[in-house]
């Protein structure tokens, strides 16, 4: 029986051992991205030209890319966000889009916490200073007792809020689409303006807007409590980076921890501010969660493929 062709376009994927065997039992692997880099649109067109299935990362599946792949039946994303995929075009072309929403939850939660603690405890500055012979100290801040505003109480936002609640934080949240019950001592905010104006720390865990415009812009930042700390491990498009830079300069935002940006890899002017801690979109990239995401991505396309052959 002829096996269905699959392209592995994600920039890093473990094709060894059990997972490799699992793929090869079901599919014919006709392309693997071994470059270590995110594929461009032209590269993606060539890579998936003869594929029925794709195991994808954060590369952009535009309308042009999708329309070029005449045989494509499903894209299985290793990760949560599908905003890099033109879902309207995919629906029109009857291409199924799958993701792995459960696997990254703990990893991203821990990364958000790590960014926050690094800011409060001045860890990057101390690490750099000591290595340069500077033993001077400045007081850090406690996490316990802080009011933390959570934007989006999905899987990750809810877990992050739960974790911070256990260490003595007061939780506020803004989520107009909330569908789950929350603890009675968490306080809802009616707007983003209210949330940023009443929180010491705001952490973003929301999906991007459909038009890609930021939810944290200059008008929102003007309402922020002075000295606000901002954490973003969700989507780069959620923050207007120019407005953030101006808010840093004005002292409205005292610090930020950012793992995602509007354009990646990030090379912009926020790099010059030591009070902004930056990581290169790696929040979900732990060995454990990565294995789980890859496993789930493969399981997803196997399930879709078997269903299509019934």
* Alpha carbon 252 to its chain's center: 25
Whether residues 258 and 297 share a domain: the answer is: no
d(CA 80, CA 83): 9
56: exposed, middle or buried (C-beta count within 10 Å: 0-12, 13-18, 19+)? buried
- pLDDT score, position 21: 87
Whether residues 123 and 249 share a domain: the answer is: yes
CATH number assigned to the domain comprising residue 64? 3.40.50.720
Q: In terms of residue numbers, what domain contains 117? A: 105-278
Whether residues 115 and 96 share a domain: the answer is: no
285 three-class SS: coil
Enumerate the active-site residues. 235, 264, 281
Contact of 215 with 234, CB cutoff 8 Å: no
Can you read off the two tokens belonging to residue 141?
């801040």
Whether residues 271 and 159 share a domain: the answer is: yes
- pLDDT score, position 168: 98
Whether residues 241 and 293 share a domain: the answer is: no
Whether residues 98 and 121 share a domain: the answer is: no
Whether residues 177 and 89 share a domain: the answer is: no
pLDDT string in tens for the chain (310-residue length): 689 999 999 988 876 678 888 999 999 999 999 988 899 999 999 999 999 999 999 899 999 999 999 999 999 999 888 989 999 999 999 999 999 999 999 999 999 999 999 999 999 999 999 999 999 999 999 999 999 999 999 999 999 999 999 999 999 999 999 988 999 999 999 999 999 999 999 999 999 998 889 999 999 999 999 999 999 999 999 999 999 999 999 999 999 999 999 998 899 999 999 999 999 999 998 999 999 999 999 999 999 999 877 6
Count of domains for the chain: 2
Closest CA relative to residue 192, chosen from 226, 219, 154? 219
Whether residues 129 and 58 share a domain: the answer is: no
Whether residues 266 and 118 share a domain: the answer is: yes
Whether residues 304 and 175 share a domain: the answer is: no
Q: 94: alpha, beta or left, given left = phi > 0 and alpha = psi -120 to 50? A: left
Can you read off the two tokens belonging to residue 123?
């860890």
Whether residues 161 and 229 share a domain: the answer is: yes
Whether residues 170 and 270 share a domain: the answer is: yes
Question: Which strands make up the sheet holding 253-258, listed edge to edge?
Answer: 187-188, 170-174, 147-151, 201-204, 228-232, 253-258, 276-278
> To the nearest 10°, the Cα dihedral for 77, 82, 88, 89?
-40
């Amino acid at each position: 029986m002829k096996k269905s062709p699959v392209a592995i376009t994600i920039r890093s994927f473990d094709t060894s051992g059990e997972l490799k065997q699992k793929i090869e039992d079901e599919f014919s692997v006709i392309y693997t991205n071994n470059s270590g880099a995110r594929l461009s649109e032209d590269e993606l067109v060539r890579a998936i030209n003869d594929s029925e299935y794709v195991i994808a990362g954060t590369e952009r599946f535009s309308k042009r890319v999708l329309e070029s792949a005449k045989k494509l039946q499903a894209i299985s994303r290793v990760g949560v966000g599908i905003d890099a995929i033109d879902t309207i075009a995919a629906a029109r072309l009857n291409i199924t889009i799958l993701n792995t929403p459960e696997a990254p939850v703990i990893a991203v939660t821990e990364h958000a916490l790590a960014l926050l603690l690094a800011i409060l405890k001045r860890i990057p500055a101390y690490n750099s200073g000591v290595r340069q012979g500077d033993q001077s100290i400045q007081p850090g801040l406690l996490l316990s007792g802080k009011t933390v505003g959570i934007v989006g109480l999905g899987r990750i936002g809810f877990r992050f809020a739960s974790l911070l609640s256990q260490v003595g934080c007061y939780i506020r949240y803004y989520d107009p689409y909330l569908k789950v019950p929350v603890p009675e001592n968490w306080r809802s905010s009616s707007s983003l303006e209210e949330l940023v104006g009443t929180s010491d720390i705001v952490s973003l865990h929301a999906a991007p807007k459909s038009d890609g415009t930021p939810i944290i812009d200059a008008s929102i930042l003007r309402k922020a409590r002075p000295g606000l700390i901002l954490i973003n491990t969700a989507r780069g498009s959620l923050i207007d980076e120019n407005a953030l830079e101006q808010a840093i300069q004005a002292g409205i935002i005292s610090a930020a921890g950012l793992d995602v940006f509007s354009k990646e890899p990030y090379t912009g002017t926020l790099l010059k501010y030591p009070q902004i801690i930056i990581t290169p979109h790696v929040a979900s990239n732990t060995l454990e969660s990565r294995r789980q995401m890859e496993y789930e991505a493969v399981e997803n396309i196997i399930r879709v493929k078997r269903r299509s052959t019934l």
